[in-house]
């Protein structure tokens, strides 16, 4: 478990404690049960323009590049170059991406088509790679809680990056980029290409048998093969 996640949990813990204290404070001053919170009001209508697929291509994916491109290593002829935020402009760009992700992912809560009309994804043929938009929709409708959990998971990474920008913490940015990758993939595996879950396991096993190494899909430094 990363330091970031541990800190997140502690923060939640403190939040819950604060709530408990204020609730018990209330009930000691009056015996009446507290009024339920008013339902959340929006300031206006939310009307989608594009499908989930287009929202991904034109907003979520470009936003994520602000984070993915901010940290890493590149091999050049002169050797390995570390990429990391150095200037205020670099940190500002990262904050832009984190904000776009944290706020933008909530647009997935607005019911919208999964793909443009007539686009069936790679869902036809004998061994389809992707679910059709109708299959994705049916999956979501069977379990909207899971869909919202995937949305919140991505939003949490956005919040994590915003926090990292405040502290200019390069080390934790590595973790955050990894968490972001996981948040994207875990939704895609659940809703877009679930067949890959089995395929990836199979590939992992083959790699392990071949080389004695684990497939590295999350850009963490893997131990040298024995
Ligand atoms: C809550 C679920 C969810 C999360 C989180 C999510 N995606 Fe997606 N994404 C989808 C679904 C569903 C599709 C497939 C839509 C379709 O093709 O019908 C998709 C499709 C895509 C596509 C394909 C677009 C195209 O033109 O074919 C890209 C690229 C993409 N996502 C990138 C990302 C990135 C990057 C992240 C993380 C920063 C991310 N997604 C997070 C649900 C999600």
Of 188, 196, 219, the residue with max ligand 1 atoms within 8 A of its CB, to mutate for a pocket test, comes to 188
- What gap in Å lies between CA 104 and CA 155, rounded to an integer? 9
Q: What is the pLDDT of residue 210?
A: 67
Instruction: Name which residue leads in pLDDT, 37 or 84.
Output: 84
Domain ranges of the chain: 43-211
How many angstroms separate the alpha carbon of residue 103 from the centre of ligand 1?
16
Ligand 1 atom closest to 150 (CA): 1
- Mean pLDDT throughout 31-55? 89
Whether 98 has a pLDDT exceeding 60, the answer reads yes
- What gap in Å lies between CA 166 and CA 8, rounded to an integer? 15
Q: What is the pLDDT of residue 213?
A: 46
Buried b / exposed e over 31-67, threshold 16 CB at 10 Å, is eeeeeeeeeeeeeeeeeeeebbbbbbeebbeebbebb
> By alpha-carbon position, which residue is closest to atom 20 of ligand 1?
53
Q: What is the pLDDT of residue 214?
A: 43
Instruction: Name which residue leads in pLDDT, 194 or 181.
Output: 181
Q: Concatenate the DSSP letters of all residues of 167-199 into one string.
A: HT-HHHHHHHHHHHHHHHHHHHHHHT-THHHHH
Other residues' Cβ atoms within 10 Å of the Cβ of residue 133: 20
How many angstroms separate the alpha carbon of residue 30 from the centre of ligand 1?
49
Phi/psi of residue 81, each to 5°? -110, 130
How many angstroms separate the alpha carbon of residue 88 from the centre of ligand 1?
30
Q: What is the pLDDT of residue 34?
A: 84
Of 50, 51, 55, 56, the residue with max ligand 1 atoms within 8 A of its CB, to mutate for a pocket test, comes to 56
How many angstroms separate the alpha carbon of residue 60 from the centre of ligand 1?
8
- Mean pLDDT throughout 193-198? 79
How many angstroms separate the alpha carbon of residue 48 from the centre of ligand 1?
16
Q: What is the pLDDT of residue 167?
A: 98
How does the average pLDDT of the chain come out, rounded?
Answer: 83
Whether 209 has a pLDDT exceeding 90, the answer reads no
Whether 49 has a pLDDT exceeding 50, the answer reads yes
> In sequence order, which residues have a C-beta less than 8 Å from that of residue 107 and are 6 or more positions away?
48, 55, 59
CB under 6 Å to ligand 1: residues?
Answer: 52-53, 56-57, 60-61, 64, 108, 114-115, 121, 133, 136, 147, 150-151, 154, 180, 183-184, 187-188, 191-192
Report whether 108 contacts 154 (CB < 8 A).
no
């Amino acid at each position: 478990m990363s330091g970031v996640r541990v800190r997140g949990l502690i923060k939640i813990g403190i939040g819950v404690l604060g709530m408990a204290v204020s609730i018990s404070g209330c009930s000691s001053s009056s015996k009446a049960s507290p009024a339920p919170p008013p339902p959340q009001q929006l300031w206006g209508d939310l009307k989608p323009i594009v499908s989930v697929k287009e929202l991904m291509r034109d907003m979520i994916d470009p936003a994520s590049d602000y984070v993915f491109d901010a940290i890493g290593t590149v091999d050049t002829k002169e050797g390995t170059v570390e990429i990391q935020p150095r200037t205020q402009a670099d940190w500002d760009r990262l904050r832009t991406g984190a904000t776009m992700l944290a706020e933008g992912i909530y647009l997935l809560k607005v019911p919208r088509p999964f793909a443009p009309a007539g686009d069936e994804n790679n869902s036809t043929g004998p061994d389809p790679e992707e679910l059709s938009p109708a299959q994705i929709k049916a999956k979501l409708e069977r379990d909207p809680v899971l869909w919202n959990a995937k949305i919140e998971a991505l939003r949490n990474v956005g919040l994590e990056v915003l926090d990292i920008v405040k502290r200019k913490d390069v080390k934790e940015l590595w973790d955050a980029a990894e968490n972001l990758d996981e948040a994207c993939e875990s939704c895609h595996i659940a809703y877009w290409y679930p067949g890959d879950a089995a395929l990836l396991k199979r590939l992992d096993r083959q790699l392990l048998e071949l080389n004695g190494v684990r497939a590295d899909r999350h850009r963490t430094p893997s131990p040298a093969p024995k």
